[in-house]
Chains A and B, each alone.
Chain A
């Protein structure tokens, strides 16, 4: 039956295989050494543990996908999350499979090398220079160190490279085939992964979009295409490169939020509504609360402002001092503050000014927007009051106090108007957790506001609460939400105190949409300010170019064995020189072309331009923004930019070789130089490999010999 021979023809690029094998060997060998926590593993590790336990957290350093990828590796290795990540250098117990924790980043790091080889080919370089680029990647100590531990840079770099490779593959294949759009789709997906791993991926995404826009613009100018066809192409491209990444980015958050459904250490940062969706924590308390706030309700009021800390309106049996330190006087009435911990003194009772009783009637009469209420402090029965006395720390605003009648002609001014600011969406009735309420003082039209200033000793360092004149812009520090809520039933004060101490009961169910959760989480991640202190190994961008700085990742607990993030100095020098050369060449070519001299053929010029727009453009977008940033920066932030330069160097050498050197002698001399460079890259890799792999351990003298730059911080153990 078989008329034709059944043949499988494959072509194998042996170089590619060889390079991949070497990459796997350099990245994966001895992966579980050192068997202790290395540098930022201590940071990412805690999140991996939280994933294993399904506990909610916020990390403002980046989107969640990166943590999830690390957690996936840990999950496959059977990590149960029971390890305390408290310090660098702590030994992992036997139960933790270190190899699997570090496997994913190492694989990404290893696969980057063959990927670079392919990417170079797509950029129009020859196989030889593609091999050069792959070698530069292979022998880059900094990339090796960064990919051998539970860190995210290698994952980021891999997906950035992948998306560029796919895009160029798409661009280089014939436009007529719809199959090529698979490549574009893949490109969009992998850039979405890159952005999901670190915000830094956004910089490369912008570059990718820029390149795609230029190509699409050319497509629009192509008159051989019909209008309809151009439209379809443009739409397809924007779907693949804009819509798909955005949807995927949201999808990462969907997974994140679905995985983490238990309450945890960062609950406090989120709104009450968000917290109520998490198991345990607030939802346990608020489950079964009545929804509508009524006259006689017992409530705790939480300030919507998250800075300096989330807190609840609070009062206690202590008065404002008669005179402050600076000599100003006060009303000497009871202090009202904002307190960042749950406390029985946070309970307030909502009272109808026209009635005496403090219990909820049957049926309950809900409080509506515009109603006038009084607020009675549960434990001390003082009324929330404000008057024309300067507040303790913010003298421009009014003091807020629990009213004490001293018979000194200070009448109580304790009526407050309820203004529900989100009544358009959540209705006119004051609702637990959902309604944002402003309390406007009836007599003076001042608004109850958290000033956020801590009080001195007499106020137990709690936060100051003031009443500020209306007609300032609305801000979150003026709005309050009811968090815990129950309908009061006790008539007598003693009974009531007992009731306040008891937990709340009755049921209400409250769900917010995933979209709202995503928006809130993303906003909180972007706006939560991290303490911006200097780290011992932090550095400034200008130090990265010349490798003036290093980071000590790990030091053996008893010997001199240590791991540092130090790049390969020779390849960094090559990278810098080629960057400079590219600029010089580009300027010369441009000026000469403008005056009508064509030094190189048109298609070589086009290739030169596209090489520059990807490589030099990539370096620019990944480096320049750091000059403007005010956050703590480390050497590893430079690695993505460096990768672009390593792509550039061999292609540039090839360009010089084939278009600038005319005679054979020059070419031969250059070949010798390049060979010399390659050997010195290899030697320098070998030289620094003890600091890269942490073994073998070196003597102090040998370490001193490795200290090529004065500014490097290499550790010596004193004997």
Chain B
């Protein structure tokens, strides 16, 4: 083992290493035969992935890689500060970067790492967090925004380099790697998406880093537990944590690595030379590197997030009362209010479900056909005047004695909405969404009402006569007339309900957080304010809470009616892009759209790959004897191509099952895999010309094919480059436009 490490450190000794490997794997092949253990994959070529192709390629790596890197950095960093105004989602992610610099708490549906890095990059380059990022199109003026954009572009520049290395590793072919890298280098979409303050370049950086480390890790199979083996294993874990820490899309690459690891372990498990102890060691190492380590890093990211953001901000209402008490500036931070609930108090009532919202009402009625036409009662996540309710005794007198009575467990009360003076009411009508529950409305005016306005307060786990503690008591509101309990179903009402959350009265009396509420604000001038220490939540609790809030937020991003919604099938055919900046002919316009030539080559080679894989598999299954060259190619096609195809599928198919609103840029991670697959496929396709032509011609054809392919990619980039680097002047239908004649599809909007 030690020998192996020493060898792999010095490039001079590569040849001896190679020899050792060959011998080893040859022996393994014999052994396998002796055990009559036929593995379908290894049956093709007993040599491992790393052998079978001549070595001199490694020399070229160093010659071509700097070229790729140079082109990559220069295309991504060119005109990085243009346009000098906020483009598209910069308004979100730039703003969130500023929040980190200002340490203000906010809520977002994505995990924090990407925005933290953006904030850090801004901070390092002298951006003070002072720009408000109100809406797209706002000018940056004197603010230092280049740092944040440059950081994203820098990470985005690594994508072609990583692609080059991954394909080189998988296929051992310079040309394949070069094709893959140039598909990405000259794709206008990849350039555009890397040049702005967005999460996608950061996400894709980590995805590609994870795949690269995984591939490198697999190369180390011959010397397990060596230091480079550990290094790549660790790097894989770190990149996975990074990917998941930026967006939940990182789960797809985790699945990819997971499946690959399971397959690898299965291979080891079937290797009867290895003892069970050895296998357990392998297993434990992977658990540590690919589960424990990323999990630890991921949790650390959140710990940093919570430590940095310690001031109250716009995201408070999404979280529970206990969570809010952590934030400086929130009214629950070192709160001081009357301790026990009293009649005549003004209160807000918060549901105990995570991201449950405040009991809310407003001057709008339920529409016709949805129960009785009375005032809506909903749950609302933001802090608002319409969340305030007054507590009244049930016997309708509005007289206020000097010393207000306190509310006790079992008391019957009437809750009046402060703004509209309607009472909380329920009756035997179906609720709007949860048909098994009853509708809750606002009814009556200034206390005129009926017996359906009466609710009994119960403290969970309390006995009759117990006082109701503000913030700390969990209470339930039982409807007197029907015996149901006030309930927040968590479903979003349609447009007539302003997309707030449904509140119902549930006839099922089980104690769940959905039917439990707590009193958050409590205002009663007649009672002394007492400083309350709310229970500080545990770190694990806030971690879980923030995740549930994020997931709820994500599934709440439903497509709106009448809004042009991008469908997953649009993406691979490059059907429609996204406007980053500018609409009219006077504006500086940037349009996110992949280079159509590149994207259509990708689409074509996907089909080509399937055909080639199918034909070659059938040939092998029928027992045709293939030459050693062909066998090697088949091996690359199946292993390397299969891995990339799996990556593409994992990053693309799940979007079909997603109910949330989708955008064109969601396809870019899948597009990376697709481009790498094209590299491998096209290379082998060109190399297979000798199937049809004799040697000198086939070589010429192969060279010509490669050159034509590369030239057409570069030329199409020249044609479409104004999409990413910005264009002004007339739109494409005008003959004098930069893009005249290039609007090949009606659906492109430039």
Contact = CB atoms under 8 A, between A and B. Distances in A.
Interface of A: 217, 220-221, 223, 227, 230, 308, 451-453, 469-475, 533-536, 591, 594-596, 628, 630
A452 B436 contact: no
A221 B38 CA distance: 15
Contacts of A596: 35, 37, 272
A223 B659 contact: no
Top 7 A-B pairs, shortest CB-CB distance:
A473-B747, A534-B435, A221-B621, A594-B270, A628-B657, A220-B621, A471-B749
Contact of B269 (A451, A533, A595): A595
B435 A535 contact: yes
Given A230-B622, A452-B561, A534 B747 contact: no
Contacts of A220: 618, 621-622
Given A473-B747, A595-B269, A227 B622 contact: yes
A402 B549 CA distance: 50
Contacts of A475: 564
Contacts of B747: 473-474
Contacts, number: 54
B435 A473 contact: no
Contacts of A535: 435
A474 B576 CA distance: 11
Interface of B is mostly: loop
B511 interface: no
Contact of B562 (A223, A451, A469, A474): A451
Contacts of B583: 469
Contact of B564 (A470, A472, A591): A472
Given A471-B732, A471-B750, A473-B749, 16 more contacts: A217-B621, A220-B622, A221-B623, A223-B622, A308-B561, A451-B562, A469-B583, A533-B433, A534-B433, A534-B435, A536-B436, A591-B269, A594-B270, A595-B269, A595-B270, A630-B659
B435 A536 contact: yes
B746 A473 contact: yes
A470 to B, nearest CB: 8
B486 interface: no
A630 B747 CA distance: 30
Interface string B228-270: 0000000000000000000000000000000000000010011
Contacts of B732: 471
A217 B272 CA distance: 28
B733 interface: yes
6 contacts: A221-B622, A230-B622, A469-B583, A472-B564, A473-B576, A473-B747
Interface string B25-54: 000000000010100000000000000000
Given A472-B749, A594-B266, A453 B562 contact: yes
Interface string B649-661: 0000000010100
A453 B731 CA distance: 29
A223 B619 CA distance: 12
A541 B434 CA distance: 17
Nearest to A474: B746
Contact of A595 (B272, B564, B618): B272
Which of B272, B561, B562 has the most A CB atoms < 10 Å from its CB? B562
A475 B576 CA distance: 13
B588 to A, nearest CB: 17
Interface string B549-585: 0000000000001101000000000001000000100
A595 to B, nearest CB: 7
Which of B270, B621, B733 has the most A CB atoms < 10 Å from its CB? B621
A434 to B, nearest CB: 20
A591 B266 CA distance: 9
A661 B98 CA distance: 69
B445 to A, nearest CB: 24
Q: Is the interface on chain B under 10, 10 to 19, 20 to 34, or 35 or more residues?
A: 20 to 34
Contacts of A473: 564, 576, 746-747, 749
B564 A471 contact: no
A605 B439 CA distance: 58
B731 to A, nearest CB: 6
Contacts of A534: 433-436
Interface in B731-750: 731-733, 746-747, 749-750
A536 B437 CA distance: 9
A72 B238 CA distance: 64
Contacts of B731: 471
A533 B435 contact: yes
A472 B577 CA distance: 11
Contacts of A469: 583
A453 B576 CA distance: 24
A469 B582 CA distance: 14
A596 B618 CA distance: 29
Nearest to B561: A452
Nearest to A628: B657
Contacts of A452: 561-562
Contacts of B562: 451-453
A591 B262 CA distance: 13
Which of A475, A534, A596 has the most B CB atoms < 10 Å from its CB? A534
Nearest to A307: B561
Nearest to A535: B435
A267 B622 CA distance: 55
B661 to A, nearest CB: 14
A230 B436 CA distance: 59
B192 to A, nearest CB: 18
Contacts of B436: 534, 536
Interface string B75-116: 000000000000000000000000000000000000000000
A229 B118 CA distance: 64
B437 to A, nearest CB: 10
Which of A221, A452, A471, A594 has the most B CB atoms < 10 Å from its CB? A471
Contacts of B35: 596
A56 B583 CA distance: 46
A594 B269 contact: yes
Contacts of A223: 622-623
A220 B615 CA distance: 12
A668 B12 CA distance: 72
Contacts of A472: 564, 749
Which of B434, B583, B622, B659 has the most A CB atoms < 10 Å from its CB? B622
A543 to B, nearest CB: 13
Contacts of A308: 561
A535 B435 CA distance: 6
Contacts of B433: 533-534
A460 to B, nearest CB: 16
A230 B618 CA distance: 11
A594 B6 CA distance: 34
B79 to A, nearest CB: 24
Interface string B406-444: 000000000000000000000000000111100000000
A469 B750 CA distance: 12
A186 to B, nearest CB: 28
B501 to A, nearest CB: 15
Contacts of B621: 217, 220-221
A474 B266 CA distance: 51
B434 to A, nearest CB: 6
Which of A220, A227, A475, A535 has the most B CB atoms < 10 Å from its CB? A220
Contacts of B37: 596
A223 B564 CA distance: 55
Nearest to B508: A711
Contacts of B746: 473-474
B640 to A, nearest CB: 23
Contacts of B622: 220-221, 223, 227, 230
Contacts of A451: 562
A596 to B, nearest CB: 6
Contacts of A595: 269-270, 272
Contacts of B618: 220
A217 B562 CA distance: 48
A308 B747 CA distance: 23
A471 B733 contact: yes
A388 to B, nearest CB: 12
